[in-house]
Structures are given as C-alpha cells and as structure tokens.
Structure 1
Amino acid sequence: MVRLSSLKKAIFGVVGSLALVSCVTAPTPSLAQQGTDIPVIVMGEDSDPMSVARTSDIFRRVVSQIQEQMSRYDFYVIDEEILAVEMGWQVRARRPKTELIQVVQLANQSRDPRLQARAMVVFKIRAAAQNVGFATKAMVRIAGDIYDYQARRFIGSWEAPRMEFPAPANCAGMCIQEVVGDHARDVAGQVGDVLRKKLAYLTRGAGRPVAQAAPAASTAAPATAAAPMGGACPASVNTGLASTFAIVLRNFTTREYLEIKNVMETEFPCFITTRNPSGDTSKRIYGYVSNASASKIEEWINILLIDMGLDPDSQVKVTVFGTEIQLDKIFGSSPQTPGRTPRFQ
C-alpha cells in the first residue's frame, strides 16, 4: 500500500501530542451528531392555490429557518437557489411535486457530488387569519413528505403541530406576513425536530463516523505510536466547517484510483465521509467530505502523488477550482508496491 511518508512527517507530531489527551477525553457515542452529514435538499410545494407561494416573505423566512435547523442537526443542506445558480435553472412559483422531484433527479445526474441529495424534504405552508372581533388570530400549519431519493423510497409524511399567534385587529395581507414571519424561528424549530426524527433511519451506519468511547488506559496505545490519520483533525488544519470536494481523476488505472482513495480516507486528517463516485478509468468523479481547507487537500494530494512515484510537475497536472480538484495523469504509472500481501482473498 502506498504510504504518506512525507505527509506523516509533517503532521504526526501534532496528532501524536493529542493522542494521550484523546485517551482521557475521547467523546462518547452519545455526543455523535444527529444527521451525520447526510445531504438533504429542502423544497416547498406551492401548487395548491391555498398554500403560501414561494414568492411570499413567509415562505422565504420559514424555509431559511428550516434549513438552519437542519444544519444544526448536522445534515448537509443543499440550498435550492444555489443549486439553480450552479445549474443555470429558473426557480418558478406554484410548482407541483413532480417538478420538485425532477429538480433532484437532474441535480443528481449532474455528477457533481456537491449538488447531489440523498434525502428530499417537500413541505407546504398554509397560513390563515381569523377575525375574533377585538383582534386577529394568525394560524400556520406546515406539512409535507420525505423521500430517500437514492433508494427511490418514500419515507413518510409529516405534519408539524398547528401554531397560532395573536395579531392586531383587522390584520391581513402584509400584516399577517410580518406576524407569521416574526415567528418563523418557532415554526421551523418544530419542523426541524419532526424532520430529524423522520430522517433518523438514514443516519444508521451512514455519513460521519460515530465517535467511539475511549479504550481503557491499560490497553491504550502509547502516545507516540503510529495510528491511522483518517478522521483526526488537528486545530492547525481544521477549518471548523465541512466541505464536499469534487475530486476528478482522469486516466488513472483502477489500482491507482483505489490507492489514492484508500489513503485519502485512512490517512488524510479531517476526513469525514464520501459521496457516491461516478465514471470509469478515463474519468472518475469522487465526492470527498473533509473539514480541511482546499489548500491543505491540494498539498496532501501532491505529497501523495510524489509518494506514489507520480511527479506532479510532469506526469500529473493538478488543477484547483474552489472545492473541485482535478488530477489529470498525462503519462506514466505508479510502480506496484513490492511484497504487498493481498488483503482480500
């Protein structure tokens, strides 16, 4: 197996100094995040003329708060407006559910792992005002459906409890929008809790690795022992924000691709999870989620290529476009590691 000797020399010192502390303060499974970074897209269905249209301020404020709540539960939220800009689409009002499903379908066919959703949340907002004589009562109800798009599976429907808010007498139109909008955080809080529970099955064995309890002191490895780097994230390279990198590999053999993938997942610091790959030996697109910055990922990839015997200055062209890193092998191949024992028999 190709080893990241140069990379380890650069960063093992930092991680080694943290190893002894981690034996004492390692997080327990109860501290694991809820969503484990499952990619989710939240969209509103407003085809019903009695529902709140996406052009309404109520819709915009509520959907923003729902997305914030989902992010707090550690779901990887794909914003529909960012998706539309990236794909050059127009977001229309009064869309039926079938059109929303087509949006997710086309986004997943784009082969850009940063835009591909595993779960699809569709919601509908109904807002009404009731005149009670001396005042107005504003009422909001949100309901919808959840789909596991990757499995083409309907997970279930959901409905948040109806919420009522006091409003001034004769409050209508813009007045109701302001009253309901001011309570968008409360509405989204209830919706986020319902969605978290409905999406719970998707997080079983998927996404970010669940933190494990620390081993007993008698069996703990010495602080200086070499250990797998994947997942450990020293503060010096931790951006504090997970990013999905589109790693594009052209003209790499299957063996080279597997070696690169294995080292990135087991030895690169700050690794979180992967997205579904696509392509063949001529071009593969690999979704890689990490807390490290793009500059660090590029640096480690160049070190990895050198360790594999591939010169980034002549044999492989490395190009970075934001969170897209392209590796184009021009010629040559990495040597087979001598004496390697097969791991799969």
Structure 2
Amino acid sequence: MKYFLTLLAALVIIIHSAPIVAEQPTVLIMGEDSDGDSIPRNSQVYGRVINAISGQLQRNGFSVIDETLATVDNYSQGQSRRTDAELMKIAQSIKTPPIDAVITFTVFPTFRADRTTAWMNVLIKSRLINVSTHKILATVDRELPEYVETEPKCDENRQCAFKYVGKYARKLGQDVGSALAIKLRRVTLQDGTAPSSSLKQAALQQAYTLTFENFNIQEFNKIEECLVAFTGYNTHKLLLNTSRNMVVWYKTKSDDVRLKRNLRRMLEYLDVDGQLQCVNKTCKLTKI
C-alpha cells in the first residue's frame, strides 16, 4: 500500500507539474436541411454560407475541415435532407484529423406577399456541438433586420427564392461565423490554462468509455484514484460496477495520446499484468 501511494503521488506531481496548453479545435461545418421549409444543402446558397462561416473561423485561428474532401472516400456525396443523427455519425467517422466540434446550420426563407410584390426575410439558425460529448456548446441565430422586396410571386417560385436568399447568404453567414468564433474561443478558454504553457491538452472536453475487466475491488479503488489524478480530469461516472468488472464514462481535457499512455502506465502502479485495447474513444483494460 505504501508503495502504491508513493507511485501515485509521483504520478500526480509529474502530470500536474508541467504547464498546460489547449490545442485549437478542429471544426467541421455541415448544412442541416432535414426541415422541409429550409433551403436544401445541394443549393449554391449553402456553399456561400459555409464559405462565410469558414472564413470567420479561420481568421480567428481555428482549423476548418472541408466535409466533401474528408468524406469523399467513404460517403455518398450530395445527399440532402440529412438528420442530426446522420450528421453526428459522419463527423465522428472522420479520423484524419479528428473533429472536435461541428457547426450545423439551417437556412430558412420567409415570405410575405402583397398586391405589389413578395417581401422576404432570411433566418440562419446554427449550433456548435462537441463531437465527443454531444453537448451543445452554443447557438447563434441571425436574420435580416427587416423584410426586403423581391419579385411578384417569388414566394411561389423556387429558383426566385434561391436567387434572393443567395444575395444575403454571405453577409448573414459572416455574422453567424463571427459570433460562433467568439463563443468557441470562450469555450476553449474556460479551463483557464495559460497561453504560454507547453503541455498539450485537448481542444474541447472529451468523453471516453473505459472498461476495466478482471480487477478486484481493491484494484478498482486504486484505478479510480489514478483516473482522478490524470491531467485534464473533469468528471467520471460508473456505468457498471460488479465484483470483477467496471465501466466508466470519463470526461477529460487530456489529449488522446497522453490519456492512453497514462492508462498503460497505470498497470505498473497497480503492479499487475494487463492489456489495453482502444478504438477511438472506447478503451478496455484487461487484467491477465
């Protein structure tokens, strides 16, 4: 027991003594058009909005991934009316590089017709979502300050509607992107880490499912102490706890490589033989 406490104390000193810096999040921008009243994502309007949001994020130092280039080998292109579940599945499947956050947006035109012309407004609704935890980090909605004139019966003509929505898509997209960049910056700084620090940290909170097999109760207690001591620890919850197995939902700001290395090193602190298997954010540590 004394040996374990000495090793655990050394682990805490090592992983907390180095300064910490968070990476900038890698962002994927995706058009969400499952609502039948929205503009479909295969229109030019969506391209203008994506470029506008992307430009604002890049100006603020964030890395933006092109969905088409990242998914061209594994997914059918040009699909429209995709659900939230489909969007998240695609985002989680991209591994080079892994996606930290997804920005989804929807474009809604609204019309008011009178005897002279059709008046139009445009609303862009957006969400910023943590890909790992599925937490909605921010929402931004932007619309024109007033209705603008279009053409008679433009509300009944799909191409006319697209033409006039397209005139304002870039400006609204820039407003949305600028606000999202500010909110994303705020999220990455919430842990209060210093910008001059040198120890890598994940850009956003990451959620892992950790399974520990064939350990006894005393070893489980030591495992929990180590998990709490690891760099970037936020919280954890026991999903399954039996006499020989434990499943933990683990939330952390640790970068992926460091966390998995710490799990391997934990076997030494426990003084047991074991194997670690990980696929993405799911890991299983088995005592041999």
* TM-score (norm. length: structure 1): 0.46
Number of residue pairs matched? 180
Alignment of 1:281-320 (within 5 A): none
Q: 1:98 aligned to 2:85?
A: yes
The residue matched to 1:183 in structure 2 has which SS?
A: helix
Query: What stretches of structure 1 move > 6 A for 4+ residues in a row?
Result: 278-281
Alignment of 1:160-175 (within 5 A): 160-163=142-145, 164-171=147-154, 172-175=157-160
The residue matched to 2:35 in structure 1 has which SS?
A: coil
Per the TM alignment, residue 77 of structure 1 is displaced from its structure 2 partner at its CA by 0.6
Partner of 2:55: 68
Deviations 1:82-130 (A, max 9, x none): 1112x431132111001101111111xx3x2x3x111111111111332
What percentage of aligned pairs have identical amino acids? Answer: 24
Change (3 A) 1:177 1:278: farther
Partner of 1:248: none
Change (3 A) 1:159 1:36: farther
Q: 1:40 aligned to 2:11?
A: no
Partner of 1:179: 164
Partner of 2:69: 82
Per the TM alignment, residue 72 of structure 1 is displaced from its structure 2 partner at its CA by 2.0
User: Tell me, which stretches of 5 or more residues in structure 2 are unaligned?
Assistant: 1-21, 199-254, 262-288
Partner of 1:15: none
Q: 1:140 aligned to 2:127?
A: no
Letter in 2 for 1:90: S
Indicate conservation of the 8 Å contact 2:126/2:176, yes or no: no
Alignment of 1:208-223 (within 5 A): 210=195
Letter in 1 for 2:176: V
Q: C-alpha separation between the residues in 2 aligned to 1:67 and 1:55?
A: 17
Alignment of 1:172-321 (within 5 A): 172-204=157-189, 210=195, 276-277=256-257
Change (3 A) 1:130 1:211: farther
Indicate conservation of the 8 Å contact 1:160/1:194, yes or no: no
Change (3 A) 1:49 1:77: same
Q: C-alpha separation between the residues in 1 aligned to 2:134 and 2:163?
A: 38
Partner of 1:321: none
Partner of 1:157: 139
Q: C-alpha separation between the residues in 2 aligned to 1:279 and 1:197?
A: 29
Letter in 2 for 1:56: S
Q: C-alpha separation between the residues in 2 aligned to 1:157 and 1:65?
A: 17
Per the TM alignment, residue 73 of structure 1 is displaced from its structure 2 partner at its CA by 2.3
The residue matched to 2:172 in structure 1 has which SS?
A: helix
Change (3 A) 1:137 1:146: same
The structure whose residues are more often strand, as a share, is 2
The residue matched to 1:62 in structure 2 has which SS?
A: helix
Indicate conservation of the 8 Å contact 1:142/1:162, yes or no: no
Q: C-alpha separation between the residues in 2 aligned to 1:130 and 1:50?
A: 15
Alignment of 1:105-116 (within 5 A): 105-107=92-94, 110=95, 112=96, 114=97, 116=98
Per the TM alignment, residue 155 of structure 1 is displaced from its structure 2 partner at its CA by 1.3
The root-mean-square deviation of aligned C-alpha atoms, in Å, is: 3.3
Per the TM alignment, residue 211 of structure 1 is displaced from its structure 2 partner at its CA by 7.6
Letter in 2 for 1:189: Q
User: Tell me, which stretches of 5 or more residues in structure 1 are unaligned?
Assistant: 1-34, 213-227, 229-274, 282-345
